[in-house]
Amino acid sequence: MRAMKPKYLMNSLQRRFLPSSAYQSEWDEETVPSWFHHELSDLHHQKREKQAKLHMTLPASCAQALQTHGIWIKHNALPREFFRRLKFEAFDYFVGQRDRNKRLLSNWHNAQSFTLPLNYTHLLRQPFLQSAITDELIPPPLQYAAGRKGKPMYQLEAMAQCAPAFRFETDGNSTPPFEIEHDARAPGATALLFLETITPEDGALFYIPGSHRMTEQRIFWEYQRHIYLAEIDEEEESPITGLSDLQELDLPPLLPLNVQANTLLIWDRTGFHGRLPSTNNSQNAHTAHRLALRADLSTKSSARGN
């Protein structure tokens, strides 16, 4: 008999002692138990309540985009001279911290991407970098995404561009597979201020507009996935989400994003998003590193679901 993972064991015990009227059988694929439905819908209801109070602080177009599509993108987000100095300080800070950290230095040429937390005590010599995360230069969208009491955790993120690792293996002429990211239990947002341009051959970022809504159809989809993951052995890798897995959701096509330097991007993590494979066919593709000032945001309630 296969042992159950701890979290699934706890869920099983919890449902066993609930009144029978409070849930449906977990293994009935045609219904969603009330405990699962309430868990997801309550998180998103709390998020919407907090964000609704911050609508008045946003430009109308920004508020509408975040509410309707789950994504907002703004080019030329910062004044040109400020951005130029910010970019210089960000690279200087990142390279300096990397060279002092043996772990980061050893992984620099092997990792496809990694992040470096921004330590406030180390930013005294980077006034523009410090100002960008403390002086409310781009605060209203961040406040909206985080919720009133959310506090952004800032990082510098480096990701390889045109790396051969991003040219995923394909079978014949089939479409290259790629992973679609989403997290229904952490209904916060991610904000990225891009310090370099991302071209299509680098592997463009994408988002599926409107996929952040926690509809009845989406809750059922998440429940089906919950059952599937519960049946996987602990030794097996969790399967990625691909485009074929989203067919039953009847979503619009994914939207590749045109990301220039000095672009501010905010997307709801509940929505389906990710990065397309690189289109660079060279076997010795040039690997550069682009940096992004990244802020992970989540509401107080959603943190409990992580």
Is pLDDT at 14 greater than 50 in this prediction?
no
**Per-residue pLDDT at 199:** 80
The pLDDT of residue 17: 38
Q: 83-106: buried (b, 16+ CB within 10 Å) or exposed (e) per residue?
A: bebbbebbbebbeebbeeeeebee
Mean per-residue pLDDT of the chain: 75
Does 109 score more than 80 pLDDT?
no
Mean pLDDT of 215-229: 91
The gap from C-alpha 70 to its chain's centroid, in whole angstroms, comes to 12
Segment 187-205, tens digit of pLDDT: 778 888 899 998 877 788 8
Instruction: Identify the pLDDT of residue 140.
Output: 74
* C-alpha dihedral sign at 96, 192, 44, 254: negative
Would you state the pLDDT for residue 155?
A: 83
Res 2 pLDDT > 50:
no
Largest pairwise CA distance in the chain: 64
User: How many Cα atoms within 13 Å fall on the side-chain side of residue 130?
Assistant: 9
pLDDT of residue 157: 84
| pLDDT score for 12 | 39
Mean of pLDDT values over 72-101: 88
pLDDT level of residue 302 (50, 70, 90 thresholds): very low
Quote the CATH superfamily of domain 34-166+174-298: q2cbj1_9rhob like domain (2.60.120.620)
Give me the pLDDT at residue 145, please: 65
Q: Which stretch of 112-116, 149-153, 249-253 has the lowest confidence by average pLDDT?
A: 149-153
Q: Where are the domains of the chain?
A: 34-166+174-298
Least confident of 63-77, 188-202, 282-296: 282-296
Environment class of residue 136 by beta-carbon count within 10 Å: exposed (0-12), middle (13-18) or buried (19+)?
exposed
Residue 204 burial (CB count, 10 A)? 19
pLDDT at 207 > cutoff 90: yes
Counting DSSP H helices and E strands in the chain, the numbers are 10, 10
Per-residue pLDDT at 53: 76
pLDDT at 49: 80
Q: What is the mean pLDDT of residues 270-278?
A: 88
Distance separating alpha carbons of residues 182 and 241, to the nearest angstrom: 9
Burial class (CB in 10 A: 0-12, 13-18, 19+), 34: middle
DSSP three-state, residue 260 = coil
Identity of residue 206: F
CB neighbour list of residue 93: distance below 8 Å, 6 or more residues apart: 118, 122, 123, 126, 129, 156
Q: Does residue 256 surpass a pLDDT of 60?
A: yes
In the structure, what pLDDT confidence band is assigned to residue 212 with cuts at 50, 70 and 90?
very high
Using the predicted structure, report yes or no on whether residue 41 has a pLDDT greater than 70. Answer: yes
d(CA 6, CA 13): 11
At 19 the pLDDT is 39
Ranges 57-71, 76-90, 115-129: which has the least confidence: 115-129
Q: CA 203 → CA 49, 165, 199, distances in Å?
A: 35, 11, 7
